Structure 1
Amino acid sequence: MNSAPTNYKAARRDPHAVGTDSGKSTRGEVSLSSPDAMACLRRIAWLLFFTALTALGGVRPNSLQPPQQLIASYNDEQSATLRWEAVPGARLYRFQISEQRDFTTIRTDALLLPSKSWIRATIAGLEPGKMYWWRVQAIGNSGESAWSLPVRLSTNGEMVGVPVERLPADRSVLAFCSVLRFSWRACDGATSYRLQLSPSPTFDRQVIERESVEPYAEVVELVGGRGYYWRVQARRGSESGQWSPVQQFTLLSLANIADAAPSVKESQRLRLLKSDDPVPVELVPNPVADVLTVRTPPLHEGGSITLFDVVGRQMLRMPVAGVEQAQIPVGQLPAGSYTIVITTSQYQWVGTVEVLR
């Protein structure tokens, strides 16, 4: 048990786990005639296991941290792959599946050997359209952890949605940086996301691709002075949702950043934003770390929001039109003070934003 392959199938303790010797179909039918008999066998097995563990060194409950990052990937309408992060010191993992959130009755109760990073178990025989809950416990020489928080498991067959609130916004102009983050709102039921970037709007050449289990991804291969197109899709196991609408952005080259200094046309009014300024412009939060929300009166066609650093270099520009609220991604900018310029067809408002790290 000191070393094991990366992926494991569920132990043969449970008739619903893939790799069992029940001799039945993937719907989880079992040869034993009584569910009570199976429950009795499980209790006897656990009693023998913990008796042996106590004899070797004693059991001290809650000496390990409960498993984290529980993720379910749906293979089809009747099977799913469960995975979670490894717990330091764990020698075994126990996972349970129930139709009740409080686990009043247990459908699946199985043991798994450990691996170095992520633990996996494939479950078959799920009923399409039915709701389940699953949880995991770590077991080590010093005892067992508390159960993880229960996670919902549902093979409803519905297509996963399209990510929204995608940043950077369409037609953004960004300062060149070594790492650029792309983010979106998490989709219900999604287990992972697929991001694509390309200099072509048809994604037929030089495609950069990322897979992520989080609603964001970071890319380092981009080149300054070029324009890119990007899109993202949500996935649930082997099922992929529709691609999001294609968005475009431009990375400024290091050579022309210094030339992009702010200017105010003589025909425009210049007004500084202060705490007592009655103009309805709001910057939230300020200071900011990741995403700055700018609330203004509706900006007409041709409106834009631009950020400049302390030496006047344009670090970010985002066109906005017909909106009263815009979200500006600043996670790639270094910490410091920035001048924000909100341009409309009649005015140019100037204020200050503090970026924290």
Structure 2
Amino acid sequence: MIIGVPKEIKNNENRVSITPAGVFTLCKAGHQVYIETKAGIGSGFSDDEYKNVGAKVCTCDEVFAQSDLIVKVKEYLECEYKFLREDQIVFTYLHIANDLPFAQALIDSKTTAIAYETVEFNHDLPLLTPMSEVAGRMAVQIGANMLQKGNGGSGLLLGGVPGVMPAKVVIIGGGKVGLNAAKIACGLGASVEVFDISAKRMAYIDDISNGSIHTIYNNEYSLQETLKTADLVIGAVLIPGAKAPKLVTEDMVKTMKEGSAIVDVAIDQGGCIETCDRITTHDNPVFVKHGVLHYSVANMPGAVPRTSTVALSNATLPYILKLADKGLGALRDDPGFMKGLNTYQGYFTCKAVAKALGDKYKDFSEFL
């Protein structure tokens, strides 16, 4: 099979979907890799490094025209819709529950689209995990920077100093993003509260942190009360494939302290904080609403591309290899992999996506 790797064109997206090590593995297995020139530059990988392991470095048009399988990092932008076609598989972060134009382009073109974010293994999301870990850890770094007075924040040091109380960090969601954010915030000395609805998850967080991370059952009353004294709020809620629920309302944000900060990591799926009503970019990441700083960049890991690219490629490579070896047979053989299929032959094949977009769902088995 010919695997195509285009250069990412989203604002400040410096990741690339495959490392030279990944290309080496695919070529050794008998496949061909076409990679767009300079696709890896942002992550520190040169064209020569890809050539030396067997890739063909070529133009963007050649990559899309020649490849059976397109492997990306982010969703297609409007200028890339023209490349979608029925006889091609696309494997990337799709996030189409919050992107109707792209979803419609996939349906109209009858493209077979597989989303990293809905592939499952043992009730986990293995291809979302590495970027969730990166984004969760980044959220605290970003939030700490936002709280600096020169950046419009309240002027707090996240961990405080002896004799001075630390900042209060509230994390909504105790999954991969939330846990990684909590680890970093706790490590920096902040007072950390994690809201979740899973007793099992809260017990796990309490256990591994020896109680230094405080867990609270998430209900509307408890959340609105704690937000009044929060310095940094991190939105980390995920429902695989679906739009994120708006757990923090605008009225809640109005009660927050002036100069406090919000980082909505869930913005890829529409965001879980009502006032994060726009997607921002790394060029202009922060806006202020009701005196509170808001950060809602949809491709946070793109700011640390070397780490993110290697972590993502390590996770996706086994699945890319399965697709290259077996085509869609790889999905039939693996029910967890099958859950990654979002569109096929002009239909939505992921229930959560179909529900979010108000469209009809069709199970892949109906096509067999």
Same-fold call, TM cutoff 0.5: no
Structure with the higher fraction of residues in helix conformation: 2
Normalising by the residue count of structure 1, what TM-score does the alignment of the two structures yield? Answer: 0.23
Considering Cα pairs closer than 8 Å and 6+ residues apart, tell me whether 1 or 2 has the greater RCO: 2
Structure with the higher fraction of residues in strand conformation: 1
